[in-house]
Amino acid sequence: MNTEVKNHRNGVEVVPDKMIKEIKDIFSTIHTSVEKYVISDIRKELITGLQIKGWSDKIFLDRKSKISITGEQDDIGLCIQTGNVSRVYADLLKLQTLFVQGEIKAGIIIVPTSECGKQYASNTASMERLMRELNIFNQVITMPLVVIGFSE
C-alpha cells in the first residue's frame, strides 16, 4: 500500500522520522486490496504491525470511560480512522485532550486517501478532507499532528 504524510502544527518536526518510517514500512507489507468489507482486515494488519514495533494497545482517556485512542508510543498518540468522517473529529478531540493534559507531545492520525475511501464506502474519513478542515480548526486543534493517508 502507498502512504502520504501531511503536517499540522509542525507534527513532522515533533514526531520522530523513525516512527513515521516504521508506519510507512508496515503499510508496504499490507497486500490486502481495498474494497468493500475488507477495510477491517487492513486495520487489523496495521494494528498488528504497530504492536510488533512497540505501540501500546488502546489507551483510555479516563478510567470511568470507554473513550480510547488506538495506541501510544514514546509520548506520541495514535488514532486509526477508517470509518465515517464524523468519527475523525472524535479522534482529534481525544488526541487534543491527551495533549492538553500533558500525556502526549504530538499525535498521528491514519486515514485513507479520498480515492481509497471511495473504493470501500461512502462518506469515509479521508486525508484530504481532514487536512482542509484542520485549517478551519487551527485554533482549537493545537497539538502537533502528522496525518498519514494510505491508498492502494
Query: pLDDT of 46-86, one tens digit each?
Result: 999 999 999 999 999 988 989 999 999 999 999 999 877 88
Level-2 CATH architecture, domain 2-151? 3-Layer(aba) Sandwich (3.40)
Average of pLDDT values for 36-44?
A: 74
The full DSSP string for 78-126 is EEE--SBTHHHHHHHHHHHHHHHTTS-SEEEEEEE-HHHHHHH-SSB--
Average of pLDDT values for 26-49?
A: 79
Instruction: Spell out the domain ranges in the chain.
Output: 2-151
> Which residue in 51, 16, 15, 47 sits closest to 30, CA to CA?
47
Give me 99's grid cell: 495533549
Strand, helix or coil for residue 52: helix
pLDDT for 116 equals: 67
Is pLDDT of 34 > 70? no
Is pLDDT of 99 > 90? yes
Is pLDDT of 93 > 60? yes
pLDDT for 35 equals: 60
